[in-house]
Amino acid sequence: MKKGLFLLLALLSAMLGCRVLPPAPPEPELTADQILSRLRSGRGNLATFAAAGRLTLISPQQNATGTALVKGIAPETLRVDLKDPLGRTVLSFFTDGRVVEVLFPREGKLFQGPATPTNLASFVPPQVKLSHAVRLLTGDLPLSPGAPQGNHLEAGGERLYVLEWRQSNGSPQERLWVSASDFQPRKVEWFGPDGTPAFRAELEESQAGPRRPGQLKLETSTPRMELRLAYRDFTPNPPLSPLDLAVPRPPGVAVLPLKP
């Protein structure tokens, strides 16, 4: 009994004698230049891409969902093929920034027209520039050139740096949220000339490889459109030419003008 009491007293004495270590100091906040450097580190130059995944498009004109094959050449060439569950193409979309072509193989109709926002809206929401859409599909952010005019660390669940680029009148142009843990883009907002939001996008990095997009959710409010793409495969810089992205011409297809 005395031995047990002695051991208990010795243990209590040791515990009381232990010093409590102070908490680790918070990590210092990085500058905007440091954040951009880490964001771009290891990305390399992405001139072309090819991807496959599950696409969902919700718009006032049409709703579509299915397997999508997406290919692009920076800055403004894009080809999208939407497949049905049996792997048959139900829609092919192409633009090179000058023309738009939309092929419906089942109906035997090929629509053509200039690359206006209305015609591009078959795949690209009207508030989104074509070059921005290509970069969003590849996770190539920020969209603005140069250094941001503001940055801060946002409190909350995940530590996020918020970078802000401003227009000449002082209103916001772009806000970009970057993870403080892996320095990957998580969310971006783009604003119109009057400072009102044009679109927002949420991004998720692929688990299959670093700096590869995993999911993209793109939304506009005027008009209300939503584009979602959950990637299955993503190949950077495959050998592509504009001819590789051209929409095919099935025999007997009717060529029709795109109407506003």
Q: What is the pLDDT of residues 65-117, one digit of tens each?
A: 899 999 999 999 999 999 998 999 999 999 999 999 999 999 999 999 999 99
Q: Are 199 and 191 in contact (CB under 8 A)?
A: no
Which helix (H) or strand (E) element contains residue 12? helix 2-17
- The pTM assigned to this predicted structure is 0.84
CATH topology of domain 32-246+253-257: outer membrane lipoprotein receptor (LolB), chain A (2.50.20)
242 Cα distance to chain centroid: 23
Chain segment 129-152, per-residue pLDDT in tens: 999 999 999 999 999 999 999 999
Contact 203, 186 (CB under 8 A): yes
Helices of type H across the chain? 2-17, 32-40, 117-120, 130-138, 242-245
Taking the domains of the chain in order of start, what are their residue ranges?
A: 32-246+253-257
Name residues of the chain where pLDDT drops below 70. Answer: 1-27, 42, 207-211, 260
* pLDDT confidence of residue 210: 56
